[in-house]
A = this chain, B = another copy of it.
Amino acid sequence: MTYCVGLKLDAGLVLLSDTRTNAGLDNISCYRKMFFFERPGERVIAIMTAGSLSVTQTTLARLEEAIDDDLADETTSILLAPTMLRVATIIGDTLCRTRREIAEQCRDLRQQASASMIVAGQRKGGDMRLFLIYPEGNFIEATEDTPFLQIGEHKYGKPILDRVVTPATSLSDAQKAVLLSMDSTLRSNLSVGMPLDLAVIDRDSCSVTTRRRILDGDPDFAQMSAAWSAALRDSFVKVTL
């Protein structure tokens, strides 16, 4: 399993992903699920992934190959595509093609091979965009009404986002919100695990402003998690029925 969450706020984009990958309960590994494609000041694209590792790795490798190809053009390279919508389309098409090929390979085993992605970014002169790309390649986009998108194990961490995140939320509060959302998820689903990757893309910077890996035992995260637990228990005592 996986938990990745992206926020599109007035002040910028905030992204958080875990790193746990598992094939069954007895085969657990650590893989980065957040990737950047960047021409600082010109264009920044972040991709977060959930699902079959063979599908997500092959999709990313193909996106990179397409960028490096001598014949790369605006229809094939996400660094040349003229809009973020075209970027999402290229990623969706690549994901769908890869998923279909691998699903076909796995057919005899009756195994599922699927994946979804969150794509966030901005190109110079364009708006910030945040997309959730489905396994079939189609996608939806974050809006004013729903400024966040989640993939993977989304349920445990959704109530806190529903309650505190609006487009006006500051980047600092937003980082706190996604980390508390992740904290609830980590507590309830063993297949979501540390370390975490956190990134912030300030509006109009067209670059990754903050990038942080939060390791297991990170004192700031542990302190925040403990303080949140204590605050919840305090609130529980104060609320009356």
Contacts and interface: CB of A to CB of B under 8 A. Distances in A.
29 contacts: A155-B155, A156-B158, A156-B159, A159-B159, A162-B187, A163-B229, A163-B236, A164-B232, A164-B233, A164-B236, A172-B241, A175-B241, A176-B236, A176-B239, A176-B241, A177-B236, A179-B241, A180-B236, A180-B239, A220-B241, A224-B239, A224-B240, A224-B241, A227-B239, A227-B240, A228-B235, A231-B235, A232-B232, A234-B235
Given A156-B158, A158-B156, A241-B220, A232 B163 contact: yes
For this chain, the copies found in one complex come to 2
A85 interface: no
The majority secondary structure among interface residues of chain A is helix
Interface residues of A, number: 33
Given A155-B156, A156-B159, 16 more contacts: A155-B188, A156-B158, A159-B159, A159-B184, A159-B188, A162-B187, A162-B188, A163-B236, A164-B233, A175-B241, A176-B240, A180-B236, A224-B240, A231-B238, A232-B235, A235-B235
A15 to B, nearest CB: 15
A162 B162 CA distance: 20
Nearest to A220: B241
A188 to B, nearest CB: 6
A160 interface: yes
A196 B172 CA distance: 38
Interface of A: 155-156, 158-160, 162-164, 172-173, 175-177, 179-180, 184, 187-188, 220, 224, 227-229, 231-236, 238-241
